[in-house]
């Protein structure tokens, strides 16, 4: 195993590339401690210590510190660790650690997200955003089913009408161009074409009943 490159990424850290493939980040003091230099061989025992002890311990601490401030999906947390320069085997060890203690739980995250934003976003919009955050379709469907059973889901027609009300929508005097803009606005919010059509035609007592 040959250290093919050492690239400084900050005053304290450098990215180490081994055999032009594997890379990881070390502190400057660790470079000196392990005697790491470009075009030098990396002893297998040193490599084992870094991959099985040093970096996994650091990645676990990094994951725990990230979770102190907010919840993450499994994908989001894994991406954060990868962005920090941890190699994939180390990322997986850290992820397994936090999952074992239920510090991350995609089902719990999705259920909480649905409850938090159900009054402000359409179901379709929430589904799209959760999938972008890395929630798998089976987990998402389970979360939606649980949310609908507990909270009864949401009245999307009422939500769309309230958004139109905030836009000062006047059904009788709104021009075609203004309606097209409002249609696009609600479509962007994730409402279906049917809900939007009903909202644009609805009388106030229809959705307040």
Q: Phi and psi for 5 in degrees, rounded to 5?
A: -160, 145
Residues 145-159: tens digit of each pLDDT:
888 777 655 667 777
- Contact status, residue 6 vs residue 31, Cβ threshold 8 Å: yes
Residue spans of the domains in the chain: they are 1-42, 106-151, 156-208
- Contact status, residue 84 vs residue 78, Cβ threshold 8 Å: no
Instruction: Report how far apart, in Å, the C-alpha atoms of 98 and of each of 20, 71, 72, 102 are.
Output: 31, 12, 11, 6
pTM for the model stands at 0.69
Give the Cα separation of 51 and 43 in Å (integer).
Answer: 12
Which residue positions in the chain have pLDDT lower than 50?
Answer: 203-209
Angle at 28 between CA 39 and CA 40, to 5 degrees: 15
Residues 115-127: tens digit of each pLDDT:
888 777 888 889 9
N-term to C-term CA, the chain: 72
- Contact status, residue 126 vs residue 114, Cβ threshold 8 Å: yes
């Amino acid at each position: 195993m040959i250290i093919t490159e050492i690239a400084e990424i900050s005053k304290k850290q450098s990215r180490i590339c081994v055999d032009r493939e594997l890379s990881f980040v070390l502190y400057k003091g660790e470079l000196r401690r392990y005697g790491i230099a470009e075009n030098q061989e990396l002893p297998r025992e040193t490599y084992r210590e870094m991959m099985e002890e040093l970096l996994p311990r650091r990645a676990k601490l990094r994951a725990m510190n990230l979770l102190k401030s907010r919840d993450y999906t499994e994908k989001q947390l894994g991406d954060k660790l990868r962005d920090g320069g941890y190699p994939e085997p180390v990322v997986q060890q850290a992820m397994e650690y936090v999952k074992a203690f239920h510090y991350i739980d995609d089902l719990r995250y999705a259920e909480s997200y649905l409850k938090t934003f159900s009054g402000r976003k359409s179901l379709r919009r929430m589904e799209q955003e959760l999938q972008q955050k890395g929630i798998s379709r089976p987990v998402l469907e389970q979360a939606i089913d649980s949310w609908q059973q507990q909270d009864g889901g949401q009245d999307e027609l009422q939500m769309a009408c309230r958004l139109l009300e905030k836009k000062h929508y006047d059904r009788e005097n709104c021009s075609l161009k203004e309606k097209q803009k409002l249609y696009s606005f609600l479509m962007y919010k994730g409402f279906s074409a049917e809900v939007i059509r009903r909202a644009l035609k609805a009388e106030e007592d229809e959705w307040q009943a």
